[in-house]
Copies of this chain bind each other. A is one copy, B any other.
């Protein structure tokens, strides 16, 4: 168990509210040998949604911003895109037009931007994008659009013997090149949506080709499935922020001990205030049930004294 004074320091961007106290109480109970709720270090698995929980997801998912930028970068090789949907809308910066192309349009965009290259090539494309792209509102690199209090929470849990994982609806190979740097989480502790890959030879060199076929969607009911498949044991701590995390919250909270928390986006000044009506990161059902199920709802505005590290 970490000394309470050190824990206070470790969670410096958290105000001294009930939220912080609940987190610290849980960690104290699960890490104090001899206490009723003690959990052996090997079983201290903590899982975190990514979009809206660890990093910003507004105005659009970062991966969607990546898709748009890739379409623009690839457009010179595809003159037909000027008149062909959904590319035409992307090139015009017309989000509404993109949305009108529905699921089919999105899959088309994913296919041209995420498949048809090797895994190594895709990793490099992702890393290069993070090195140059800027968030439209803050002008910051996307890998700095992470929530400082959540990074502190990851550090704090790890300092108390927890093993931390990302469990996100995002593409696993879009996140893996960045999670170590952003969160201290290595690639093998990132669970996400996947597209199919295929072993193939290029001359005498084996490679893995990314195919235009979605393999697994790590969202909603898929999240407990993904945790079981990739991690193989039940977490005792889960953090999410939207209804896409609902089943994962239920699944973890059903065990004892099992701590579930929701990041509630209440701060329109430092970030964006949104929940029930938002097209991105809709939080409705999970918010309704949080009180009854004793899930911690973190109020970004009142519970955090800082949202991003780059704030003055």
| A residues apposed to B, CB below 8 Å | 42, 45, 119, 163, 165, 172-173, 176, 180, 186-190, 194, 197-199, 205-206, 208, 215, 221-222, 224-225, 228-233, 247, 250-251, 254
User: Which of B42, B197, B205, B233 is close to A229, meaning CB atoms less than 8 Å apart?
Assistant: B197
Residue of B nearest to A249 (CB): B206
Q: If the complex has contacts A224-B208, A225-B208, A254-B205, are A231 and B188 also in contact, measured as CB distance less than 8 A?
A: yes
Which of B176, B221, B231, B251 is in CB contact (< 8 Å) with A232? B176
Q: Are A254 and B206 in contact (CB under 8 A)?
A: yes
Closest 8 CB pairs of A and B: A187-B232, A199-B221, A188-B231, A176-B232, A206-B251, A206-B250, A199-B224, A187-B233
- Would you call B194 and A229 a contact (CB within 8 A)? yes
Contact between B188 and A233, CB atoms less than 8 A apart: yes
Return chain B residues, CB-CB under 8 Å to A221. Answer: 198-199
Collect the chain B residues with CB atoms within 8 Å of residue A254's CB. 205-206
Nearest-neighbour CB distance to chain B for A94, whole angstroms, equals 34
Q: Give 17 pairs: A residue, B residue, CB < 8 Å, sorted on A.
A: A42-B180, A42-B186, A163-B188, A172-B232, A176-B232, A176-B233, A187-B233, A188-B189, A188-B230, A188-B231, A188-B233, A194-B229, A197-B229, A199-B225, A199-B247, A206-B250, A206-B254
Closest to A229 in B: B194
**How many whole Å from A248's CB to the nearest CB in chain B?**
9
Given A165-B188, A188-B231, A190-B232, 8 other A-B residues pairs in contact with their CB atoms under 8 A: A42-B186, A163-B188, A187-B232, A188-B230, A188-B232, A199-B224, A199-B225, A208-B228
Contact B197–A228 (Cβ < 8 Å): yes
A46 to chain B, nearest CB (A): 12
With A208-B225, A208-B228, A233-B187 known as contacts, the answer to whether A251 contacts B199 (CB < 8 A) is yes
**A198–B186 touching, CB < 8 Å:** no
- Name, among A42, A165, A172, A229, the residue most crowded by chain B CB atoms within 10 Å (CB to CB): A229
Q: Which residues of B contact A197 (CB under 8 A)?
A: 225, 228-229
Q: Residue of B at shortest CB range from A176?
A: B232
